[in-house]
Structure 1
Amino acid sequence: MGDAPPRTPEPLRVAVLMEREAAPNRWEDWRFRVADVELDVGQFGRKSRCLRDDGRVALFAHPGLAVALFADEGEGYHLNLTSGAPVWFVMWRVQEGDPSQARPECVTLSYNEAGRLLDAQERVDNTPLGAEVRGWLQAYTDAHYRPEPKQRRRPASFVAPGQRARRMPEPGESR
């Protein structure tokens, strides 16, 4: 039968808990932050809802977000796991037309994907990753990620003149 490629696990279902603070300072009407990410086993229902609101701080649950793993994101998972403090990365947006509401748009475990989202000027917060999910991610990363072998670069003096890239002079250096 041959060796079958490692199976990609089913996506995790998570709920993002977001906190909203009213008038945190004189420049902001609202401040949002990701309070937590929890495995979603149905405890929050199917729709986003307010869990508590004391007039100043409110906590909202946003259930049903999928966290899928992809073989080509192995380096990003590895970087997250070896950072010393692995995290969930949550990209969220303030609702258009209602600046008092914010919603998580996606959740990832890839450091590289979070970096791409930040480069695209998206809001990305993180929150600590629990041991259970860390073990799941580590097993997947161990099975799918192989670091690129480091290749030694030959000094230019050992490369044939026709193969040398044209080198730009350093500042203050003449040609």
Structure 2
Amino acid sequence: MDDVKPDAAPTVDVAVLMRRERVTGPMSRWQTWRWVLEDVVMNEPEFGTEPRVLVADAQQERWLFPGFTVGLYRDDAEGYYLNASTDQPCWFVMWRMEETATLADEPIARPEIVTLSYYHAGRLLDAQETVELIPAPPQINHWLREFVDANYVIEKKKRRRPVSFESLQDRFGNPVSVTTTKKFGGGGGGEG
């Protein structure tokens, strides 16, 4: 967790570990390998700047993707609050499959975004992206909660009372009439 200027977003540098694992059982007829998020770890200078394979055997491949910066921004404080207030706050990682192979013989899964914001992850999911989550370590949870405590203010919900002199409208803006009598059949009881 970096020391930052008062108005700048606090940041932390992380690396992502992705695992390609062999699929077994009946599902292997359609898919022989699958990619999963293995971990998000603090970035170390020894990791370098380029993705690389750490392990490769007949059952799995483990890839390291260094160099992600995760920032905490005041305008997304509610998204961090929703993550920090869970039993287990987590990292959200959006990844995509390469269109063509760049680092290996076949296309690999490449992490694109790492965030701690529940809302940011939700927007990515709404955009049909692949987002996986993994528990964040205690020091990150503490850092996240400190940010939330300092920057998130729960807004009180204000109930808007109906205005008595305005006519009611449906969602399309058409006038609505309210009645207590039934207009159409169904459940009239006893008529036959």
Q: Report TM bin, short chain.
A: 0.7 to 0.9
Equivalence for 2:15: 15
> How far, CA to CA, are the matches of 1:48 and 1:26 in structure 2?
30
Moved over 6 A (4+): none
The alpha carbon displacement at 1:153 in A equals 3.3
Q: Is the Cα contact below 8 Å between 1:23 and 1:31 reproduced in 2?
A: yes
Give me the whole-angstrom Cα distance separating, in 2, the residues matched to 1:115 and 1:73: 12
Identity, in percent, stands at 41
Cα distance, 1:169–1:120 mapped onto 2, change above 3 Å = farther
CA apart distance, 1:9? 4.2
Distance 2:40 2:84 in 1: 17
Do 1:30 and 1:100's aligned partners in 2 also have CA atoms closer than 8 Å?
A: no
TM superposition shift of 1:53: 1.2
User: For residue 61 of structure 1, what is the amino acid of its counterpart?
Assistant: L
In structure 2, distance between residues paired with 1:169 and 1:83: 44
Cα distance in structure 2, aligned partners of 1:83 and 1:18: 25
1:110 paired residue number: 117
User: Residue 83 of structure 2 is aligned with which of 80, 83, 88?
Assistant: 80
Contact 2:51 2:66 in 1 (8 A): yes
Quick check: 1:32 aligned with 2:2? Answer: no
Q: Distance between the aligned counterparts of 1:73 and 1:89, measured in 2?
A: 15
Give CA-to-partner distance per residue, 1:71-125, whole Å, 9 cap, x none.
1111110000112111000000001113541110010000000000000000000
Partner-residue secondary structure (3-state), 1:20: strand
Q: Residues 83 and 10 of structure 1: is their aligned pair in 2 closer, same or farther, counting only changes over 3 Å? A: closer
Larger gyration radius, structure 1 or structure 2: 2
> C-alpha separation between the residues in 1 aligned to 2:57 and 2:42?
26
Q: Could you tell me which residue of structure 1 aligns to residue 187 of structure 2?
A: none
Alignment match, 1:128: 135
Deviation at 1:21, TM superposition (A): 1.4
1:144 and 2:151 equivalent?
Answer: yes
* 1:160 equivalent among 136, 146, 164: 164
Q: 1:55 aligns with which of 44, 54, 58?
A: 58
Give the AA of the match of 1:95: E
CA distance in 1, matches of 2:38, 2:182: 54
Structure 1 distance, partners of 2:132, 2:155, is 29
Q: How many residues align?
A: 166
Contact 2:11 2:71 in 1 (8 A): yes
Question: C-alpha offsets along residues 114-162 of structure 1, whole Å, 9 cap, x if unaligned?
Answer: 00000000000000011101111111111111122111232x4xx2222
Q: Structure 2: which 5+ residue stretches go unaligned?
A: 171-175, 184-192
| In 1: Cα distance, 2:60 partner to 2:92 partner | 22
The amino acid of 1:130's aligned partner reads: P
Q: State how far apart, in whole Å, the 2-side matches of 1:115 and 1:87 are.
A: 13
